Amino acid sequence: MKLRKVPNEVFSMMDLNAKFNYRWMPDTTFSLMGLGISYLLEFFEFYGDAISKYYDRFIKNTPYEDSRFHDFISQERRHAAAHKRLNMFMAKNHLPPTREKYHPRVYDFMYMTYKTFVEPNIQGIEADEKDGKTLDGDSFREALKTLAVFETEVCMAAFSFFDNLFDKGKIEHIASLSENLAVLYLLGYHYAEEMEHCHVSIETYENIYGETLWNEKSIEQYSGNNDILSHRIINATLFVAREMGVEITVKQINSRLPDRKRSIRPGFNAKSAREKSKIDYLVNKWDLEWEPLLLSKIKQQLQERAA
Ligand SMILES: [Fe+2]
Ligand SMILES: [Fe+2]
């Protein structure tokens, strides 16, 4: 796992000012959804960071201690910092996000998620800890499971992002139509690292609790219960659309949400031979080909602007 850095040129070219162009890819709805998801990513990165503090307390000096968990959280902290600039800009009329007891940055449209999930979960972990429960507490187990499920979801999103926009020469076409290459770059950088660390949270959960995260039954349950994530994506996308002054319907967003039943296979753990070779291929392509290509286009645009 590498800690990549988003170059300053990318933020300069993102135009977090009156010239900001939200159309980072040719489809308007997908462009807005990508920006909505930027808020969900940041929100859950801070949640992961909060859970990592309990991980440190509960897992240090046990046979389950795994240094890769810290590398995963380090990548997430940097993602949150990179997205924060974009997210703050898009929400400039509603600043600042509030600092809650268990989360440092809650935007209004995420408050419901904070109150219904984050707060009771972390309160539960603390109550369990008072009763002497750590790893064996239900709330901590739920937290690790939620992280593993969320990381799987982001990994699936990364697969479709690279398959549909970058691989097999598509990047040239998409880059030529993108009206904000810097946002395209930010998402590419982020999704590359998401694929790279996806297996960590899944293995953490499976090793500690001796249970396969994704089996026929859990996938069945998950796909029958996909409203929560869909609602969060719709909410965040509607927020962005309104801030950007774009009229969009829930139907338009719904029609672009992924078919989640088809996307996760039983036994998925991102370390199995099939997933690993896909991930290695895409991450290498990002590092060696796609990232340098996008960065050179961004630098070229900056030079043209300066001329
Ligand atoms: Fe992330
Ligand atoms: Fe992640």
Please, which pLDDT band fits residue 261 given cuts at 50, 70 and 90? low
**Interstrand relation of 98-100 and 103-106 (parallel, antiparallel or unpaired):** antiparallel
Q: Is the peptide bond before 104 cis (omega within 30 degrees of 0)?
A: no
Distance 76 CA to ligand 1 centre (A): 4
Distance 188 CA to ligand 2 centre (A): 13
Q: Give ∠ CA 122-125-126 in degrees, rounded to 5.
A: 90
Which pLDDT score is estimated for 233? 94
Q: What is the pLDDT of residues 220-233, one digit of tens each?
A: 888 777 678 889 99
Which pLDDT score is estimated for 260? 63
Q: What is the pLDDT of residues 57-72, one digit of tens each?
A: 999 889 999 989 999 9
Average predicted confidence (pLDDT) for the chain: 94
Ligand in closest contact with the CA of 37 = 1
Mean pLDDT of 82-108: 95
Q: Whole-angstrom Cα distance, residue 50 to residue 44?
A: 10
Q: What is the pTM of this model?
A: 0.95
Cβ(14)–Cβ(70) under 8 Å? Answer: no
Q: Whole-angstrom Cα distance, residue 108 to residue 92?
A: 13
Distance 260 CA to ligand 1 centre (A): 20
Beta carbons within 10 angstroms of residue 7's beta carbon: 16
Cβ(200)–Cβ(74) under 8 Å? Answer: no
Distance 307 CA to ligand 1 centre (A): 36
Distance of CA 71 to the CA centre of its chain: 16
Q: What is the pLDDT of residues 2-55, one digit of tens each?
A: 899 999 999 999 999 999 999 999 999 999 999 999 999 999 999 999 999 999
CA distances from 103 to 39, 44, 151, 201, 288 (A): 14, 10, 19, 20, 36
Distance 245 CA to ligand 1 centre (A): 27
Q: What is the pLDDT of residues 265-300, one digit of tens each?
A: 888 888 888 899 999 999 999 999 999 999 999 999
Which pLDDT score is estimated for 134? 94
Please, which pLDDT band fits residue 180 given cuts at 50, 70 and 90? very high
Which pLDDT score is estimated for 131? 97
Distance 90 CA to ligand 2 centre (A): 22
Q: What do you get for the CA distance between the two ends of the chain, in Å? A: 38
Distance 125 CA to ligand 2 centre (A): 22
